């Protein structure tokens, strides 16, 4: 590979930690809630990984936050081929564009990709989520349809199989790949997603570099979780604060505890204090009444700030890996941020055996290398009322 095109969606992922589950059409609301840009840092991480392995690449990109800044920070001297600050989108060498203070749109992403293709790049490396992937794939389809694309994961929802597992993985894959294969680009309806309903749609089939560290597409795992939920509920510790992540498996645990879960959001619940109906180990007895077990819902479908505001020791985070992908943190649950994870003295990962059978390795991608490193290794996953499995975390 001699040249690469880079385009960054600077607002990708902003809605995650503030509980919006996506940023499409909600940039101002995300900012109002205090959201910070996530994509630029992840772009730099990927490009530095690329630069370490391929420092002599010719890099084409778009102006300012659309790619130029991150490319320069990584050590490359890019050629800017699209600038939304000029009337026709061309780059003016005498006045480098900087859309950092202006709004960029999906139209800018598509225009940037067209400009990259006009310069014959060997790969389009984009930074964003599924919505950005759809925009890139649309332009590739309109053009030759043969130029491969590779995603640096930065969005809230990532259902497509065109992304590296981490930004660093994406940079390595871009530098080292020697063949491509067809992969799916999927997207979901964000409005329905915010209401707790997943409507996924296949949007394109595109060529993508082949590598072991390429993320699988989202798959739906089925099977009864009743036994798992019952086992977890009987071991709830009185007075402990529980942070429940999204998903049907964790939702079944919440339902067992008498909580109305937000299926795709994060809830915080404090178990009731110890009473005569609790056993000597602190667990709630099976014959305790439902009202005695309810505890207190502190946050429903909360943002990172909502969660942090109510946490009180001791704290347990309860999450389930995404089926087919294996992500425990960093996909769909950005509200459970590094700051939240640091508050927890216990992390419970729950999944049925059926779901784990399709996952060789669990993954974490929290934007905090120290937290990621602490979470790596072997993890005990609860799979049933009394059963667990040891699974590696990478």
Band the pLDDT of 211: cuts 50, 70, 90: confident
Residues 303 and 328 in one domain: yes
Residue 164 has pLDDT above 80, yes or no: yes
Structure tokens at 69: 């800044």
Neighbours of 267 (CB within 10 A): 24
Residues 273 and 134 in one domain: no
Residue 55 has pLDDT above 90, yes or no: yes
Q: Which domain holds residue 29?
A: 3-209
- How many domains are contained in the chain? 2
Q: Which residue has the higher pLDDT, 280 or 50?
A: 50
List, as one string, the DSSP characters of 147-189.
Answer: S-EEEEE-SS----S-BBSSHHHHHHHHHH---EEEEEEEEE-
Which residue from 133, 170, 165 is spatially nearest to 51, judged by alpha carbons? Answer: 170
- Rounded to the nearest 10 degrees, the angle between the axes of helix 130-142 and helix 106-118 is 40
The pLDDT assigned to 120 comes to 96
In angstroms, the CA 132 to CA 14 distance is 13
Band the pLDDT of 261: cuts 50, 70, 90: very high
The pLDDT assigned to 268 comes to 97
Domain membership of residue 214 (yes or no) is no
pLDDT in tens, 132-154: 999 999 999 999 789 999 999 98
Residue 17 has pLDDT above 80, yes or no: no
The pLDDT assigned to 223 comes to 38
Q: Which residue has the higher pLDDT, 103 or 98?
A: 103
Q: Do residues 310 and 335 make contact, with C-beta atoms less than 8 angstroms apart? A: no
Contacts of 76 (CB under 8 A, 6+ apart): 47, 51, 55, 57, 59
Q: Which residue has the higher pLDDT, 24 or 11?
A: 11
Q: Do residues 385 and 227 make contact, with C-beta atoms less than 8 angstroms apart? A: yes
**Mean pLDDT: which of 8-12, 22-26, 273-277 is highest?**
8-12
Residues 68 and 194 in one domain: yes
3-class DSSP state for residue 59?
strand
Residue 266 has pLDDT above 80, yes or no: yes
Residues 181 and 294 in one domain: no
Q: What share of the chain has pLDDT > 70, as a percent?
A: 79
Residues 250 and 203 in one domain: no
Residues 29 and 67 in one domain: yes
In angstroms, the CA 297 to CA 121 distance is 52
Instruction: Provide the mean pLDDT of the chain.
Output: 83
Dihedral sign for Cα 173, 174, 175, 179, please: positive
Average confidence (pLDDT) over 331-337 = 92
Place of tokens 């419970």: 348
Residues 359 and 288 in one domain: yes
CB-side neighbour CA atoms (13 Å) of 78: 30
Residues 66 and 180 in one domain: yes
Q: Which of 157, 179, 209 is the last residue of a domain?
A: 209
Vertex 60 angle, CA 58 and 63, to 5° = 140
pLDDT in tens, 117-134: 999 999 999 999 888 999
The pLDDT assigned to 176 comes to 94
Domain with residue 134: its CATH number is 3.40.50
Q: Strand ranges (DSSP E) for the chain?
A: 3-8, 58-62, 79-82, 124-128, 149-153, 180-188, 200-209, 241-244, 267-270, 296-299, 315-319, 327-329, 346-350, 363-364, 377-382, 388-393
Q: Which residue has the higher pLDDT, 287 or 120?
A: 120
- Rounded to the nearest 10 degrees, the angle between the axes of helix 226-234 and helix 248-256 is 50
Average confidence (pLDDT) over 383-387 = 83
Residue 221 has pLDDT above 50, yes or no: no
Residues 282 and 156 in one domain: no
Domain membership of residue 94 (yes or no) is yes
Band the pLDDT of 26: cuts 50, 70, 90: low
Residue 51 has pLDDT above 70, yes or no: yes
């Amino acid at each position: 590979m001699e040249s690469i095109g880079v385009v960054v969606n600077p607002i990708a992922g902003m809605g995650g930690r503030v509980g919006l589950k996506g940023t499409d059409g909600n940039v101002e609301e995300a900012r109002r809630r205090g959201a910070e840009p996530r994509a630029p840092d992840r772009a730099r991480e990927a490009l530095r990984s690329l630069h370490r392995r391929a420092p002599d690449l010719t890099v084409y990109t778009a102006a300012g936050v659309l790619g130029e800044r991150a490319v320069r920070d990584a050590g490359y001297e890019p050629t800017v081929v699209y600038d939304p600050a000029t009337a026709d989108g061309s780059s003016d060498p005498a006045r480098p564009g900087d859309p950092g203070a202006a709004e960029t749109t999906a139209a800018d992403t598509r225009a940037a990709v067209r400009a990259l293709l006009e310069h014959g790049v060997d790969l389009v490396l984009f930074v964003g989520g599924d919505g950005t992937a759809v925009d890139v794939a649309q332009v590739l389809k309109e053009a030759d349809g043969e130029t491969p694309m590779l995603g640096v994961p930065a969005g809230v929802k990532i259902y497509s199989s065109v992304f590296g597992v981490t930004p660093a993985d994406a940079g390595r894959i871009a530098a080292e790949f020697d063949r491509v294969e067809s992969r799916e680009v999927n997207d979901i309806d964000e409005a329905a997603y915010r209401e707790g309903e997943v409507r996924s749609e296949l949007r394109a089939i595109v060529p993508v570099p082949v590598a072991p560290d390429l993320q699988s597409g989202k798959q739906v795992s089925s099977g009864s979780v009743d036994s798992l939920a019952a086992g977890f509920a009987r071991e709830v510790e009185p007075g402990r604060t529980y942070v429940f992540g999204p998903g049907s498996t964790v939702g079944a645990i919440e339902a067992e505890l008498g909580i109305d879960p937000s299926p795709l959001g994060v809830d915080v619940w404090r178990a009731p204090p110890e009473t005569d109906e609790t056993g000597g180990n602190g667990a709630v007895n099976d014959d305790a009444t439902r009202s005695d077990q309810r505890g207190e819902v502190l946050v429903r479908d909360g943002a990172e700030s909502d969660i942090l505001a109510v946490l009180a020791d001791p704290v347990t985070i309860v999450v389930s890996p995404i089926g087919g992908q294996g992500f425990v943190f960093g996909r769909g649950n950005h509200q459970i941020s590094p700051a939240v994870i640091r508050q927890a003295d216990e992390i419970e990962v729950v999944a049925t055996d059926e779901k784990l059978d399709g996952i060789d390795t669990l993954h974490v991608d929290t934007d905090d290398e120290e937290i990621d490193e602490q979470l790596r290794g072997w993890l005990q996953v609860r799979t049933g009322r009394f059963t667990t499995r040891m699974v590696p975390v990478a």
